[in-house]
Amino acid sequence: MAAAELAAVAFGVAYILLAIREQRACWIAGAIGTAIYAIVFLDAGLPMQAALQLVYVAMSAYGWFAWRRKPADTEPARTWPPSRHLAAVVAVAVATAISAPLASHHALSAAPVADSLGTWASVVATWLLARRIVETWAWWIVIDAGLAVLFVQQGLWMTAALYLAYAILAVAGWRRWRARRPA
């Protein structure tokens, strides 16, 4: 499985670097990497993360079409008010409160709460990225740092390193997107 994890990491790096630069090709790299990760995470006992990867494949198609305009025609990144982020956090908490006990009760996950929380927060953050919401990068900093810890616990060292790098690169993404916003 190390070869599959390494391939997924390579596509993941391509995805984040292209996303920071707002290059549409990020969605292709993302789709390929997440399809590979679905298998890696299933094998590691993280079914919520595996299912999330399949959602990412679908979200990559959505992102590809949402970013279909030429760069000159592209909408600039925008921000969300704190009230929307609070509502999103509450939705993530409710979804986690529902899915974590189910995953635990049915022995589906090696880490049901972390697996569920990381999954639902990632769904929201991916949707924010596709909608070009600047704060997506703040979401990703927190999510990726937390998932790096989860992946270390599951022995997925290359993936943990990737997610730690994602958290660091998300800082660069946040700065770049904020700088490109119209005044």
Tens of pLDDT, residue by residue over 12-26, are: 999 988 988 888 999
Please name the residue ranges forming H helices in 76-156.
Answer: 82-105, 112-130, 136-153
Neighbours of 44 (CB within 10 A): 21
At 151-161, the pLDDT tens digits run 898 888 988 99
Distance CA 177, CA 149 (A): 27
178, 133 Cβ separation under 8 angstroms: no
Distance CA 144, CA 180 (A): 23
pLDDT attached to residue 164: 95
Neighbours of 183 (CB within 10 A): 2
**Dihedral over alpha carbons 8, 138, 173, 36 (to 10 degrees):** 10
Distance, first Cα to last Cα, the chain:
48
The share of the chain scoring above pLDDT 90, in percent, equals: 46
Q: φ and ψ at 21, to 5 degrees?
A: -85, 5
50, 103 Cβ separation under 8 angstroms: no
**Number of helices and strands in the chain (H, E):** 7, 0
Give yes or no for residue 98 having a pLDDT over 90.
yes
Global pTM value: 0.80
Token duo for residue 82 = 């704190």
pLDDT attached to residue 70: 56
DSSP-based three-state secondary structure for 133: strand
